[in-house]
């Protein structure tokens, strides 16, 4: 297994995995000695995933566990009988919920190592999902050769059969949800066991449709594109029972692409509206420019509304000075894109359905330069 010196670089734990675990914390459980209630962790999962990721990485790298994670509040839990008798209670230890999250990460990585290196025999039934004392007894005592004999006066008949105990498919380890930049290489794993050995397949879901992508435990996507984002479903099947199915979400980040702009006409004294739509992951941030001046929301009679993939520039009382060319700039951490939009008056001839590509071609270079300077 990886040494403690390179656990973090081996990506034993990711921010996305921590957030997913926080979102599935049981909020009705009690807190540990640190007093951090699981409901708080659940509600703030998107906010605290990053600092917890740093703490977990440091703990794995140093091999040290915070003291608060190593102590417990022990409370008595009543079993049965008289409540006045101490022997009718059993102790329950309440430990840190955050500490148990890291324990879960380590457990999954150990199971992954075991599955990859095939270090657990099919004879192991304890602490294995879909296995129990019953399956162990059946496999140990019942599997093997059986002889059936029928005695007759003339021709005694004997038949031999061999009983094989089959085991339902079980996915032992699967990749966590992952976020990557467009063009990266993505490697997903789905390790399963069963008897007979299950067949593992991957399918990609986009909206309401899906398509087959692989029939191997490992799925590698080289140069991933935005169209390849979405849910990937791993299915392990061996006809013993229903397939074991798990899913992984792959999010692909890509720079903004302005997909729609429209030149708009407005009369003097009336309301004028310019719209700008951009596709991007993460969502784009919008800015509007008039020549070399960046427009500010609420000043000079304009309002800027940014919502999801769209930005709307509204003029409440159009005047002569408002007519002209405006530039919409959409940006995220991967880059920026810009397009030109025109507000024109009555009698002017403009193509209202101008495409984004034509608008982008007419955009001034200084818009990108100005944006880069303001975000430096």
- List the pLDDT tens digit at each of the 376 positions of the chain: 444 444 443 457 888 889 989 999 999 888 999 999 999 999 999 999 999 999 999 998 888 999 889 999 998 989 889 999 999 999 989 999 999 999 998 888 887 777 667 677 767 777 776 677 777 777 666 777 877 877 777 777 888 887 777 888 989 889 988 999 999 999 999 999 888 889 999 999 877 677 888 888 999 999 999 999 999 999 999 988 899 999 999 999 999 999 888 899 999 999 999 999 999 999 999 999 998 899 999 888 899 999 999 999 999 999 999 999 999 999 999 999 999 999 999 876 555 444 433 333 333 444 444 444 444 4
Is residue 241 located within the same domain as residue 295? no
Last residue of a domain, which of 254, 287, 317?
Answer: 254
Task: Say whether both 249 and 268 belong to one domain.
Answer: no
Residue 281: per-residue pLDDT: 94
Number of structural domains the chain divides into: 3
If asked whether residues 105 and 184 sit together in one domain, one would say no
Question: Residue 6 falls within a domain, yes or no?
Answer: no
Q: Please indicate, yes or no, whether residues 219 and 237 belong to a single structural domain of this protein.
A: yes
How many angstroms from the chain centroid is the CA of residue 268? Answer: 50
Q: Is omega for the bond preceding 282 within 30 degrees of 0, making it cis?
A: yes
**How far apart (Å, rounded) are the C-alpha atoms in residues 240 and 198?**
9
CATH of the domain at 208: 2.60.40.10
Last residue of a domain, one of 199, 221, 254: 254
Same domain? 23 vs 107: yes
Q: Are residues 243 and 189 in the same domain?
A: yes
What is the rounded radius of gyration, in angstroms, for the C-alpha atoms of the chain? 31
Confirm whether 337 is domain-assigned.
yes
Query: Does residue 369 belong to any structural domain of this protein?
Result: no
- Per the structure, the complete domain to which residue 304 belongs is given by 263-344
What pLDDT does 300 receive? 81
- 66 lies in a domain? yes
* Domain end point (choices 254, 284, 312): 254
Which residues have CB under 8 Å from 172's CB, separation 6+?
111, 112, 114, 115, 191, 192, 193
> Has residue 72 been placed in a domain?
yes
């Amino acid at each position: 297994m990886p040494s403690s010196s390179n656990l973090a670089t081996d990506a034993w734990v990711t921010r996305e995995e921590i957030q997913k675990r926080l979102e599935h914390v049981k909020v009705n459980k009690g807190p540990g000695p640190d007093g951090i209630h699981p409901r708080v962790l659940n509600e703030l999962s998107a906010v605290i995933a990053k600092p917890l990721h740093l703490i977990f990485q440091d703990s794995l790298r140093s091999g040290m566990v915070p003291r608060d994670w190593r102590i417990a509040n022990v409370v008595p839990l009543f079993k049965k009988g008289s409540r006045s008798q101490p022997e009718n209670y059993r102790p329950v230890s309440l430990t840190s919920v955050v500490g148990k999250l890291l324990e879960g990460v380590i457990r999954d990585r150990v199971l992954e190592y075991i599955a990859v290196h095939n270090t657990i025999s099919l004879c192991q039934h304890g602490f294995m999902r879909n296995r129990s004392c019953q399956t162990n007894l059946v496999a140990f005592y019942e599997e093997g050769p059986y002889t059936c004999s029928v005695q007759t006066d003339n021709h005694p008949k004997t038949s031999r059969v061999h009983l094989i105990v089959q085991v339902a498919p079980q996915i032992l380890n699967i990749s966590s949800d992952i976020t990557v930049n467009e063009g990266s290489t993505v490697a997903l794993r789905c390790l399963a066991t069963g008897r007979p050995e299950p067949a593992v397949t991957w399918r990609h879901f986009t909206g309401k449709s899906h398509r087959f992508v692989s029939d191997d435990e490992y799925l590698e996507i080289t140069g991933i594109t935005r169209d390849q984002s979405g849910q990937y479903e791993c299915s392990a099947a061996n006809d013993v029972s229903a397939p074991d199915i798990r899913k992984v979400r792959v999010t692909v980040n890509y720079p903004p692409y302005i997909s729609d702009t429209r030149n708009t006409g407005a009369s003097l004294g009336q309301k004028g509206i310019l719209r700008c739509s951009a596709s991007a992951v993460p969502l784009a941030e919008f800015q509007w420019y008039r020549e070399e001046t960046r427009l500010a929301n609420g000043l000079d009679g304009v309002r800027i509304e940014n919502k999801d993939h769209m930005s709307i520039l509204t003029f409440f009382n159009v005047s002569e000075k408002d007519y002209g060319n405006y530039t919409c700039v959409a940006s995220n951490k991967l880059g920026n894109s810009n397009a030109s939009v025109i507000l024109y008056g009555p009698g002017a001839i403009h193509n209202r359905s101008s495409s984004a590509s034509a608008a982008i071609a007419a955009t001034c270079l200084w818009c990108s330069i100005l944006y880069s300077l303001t975000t430096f």
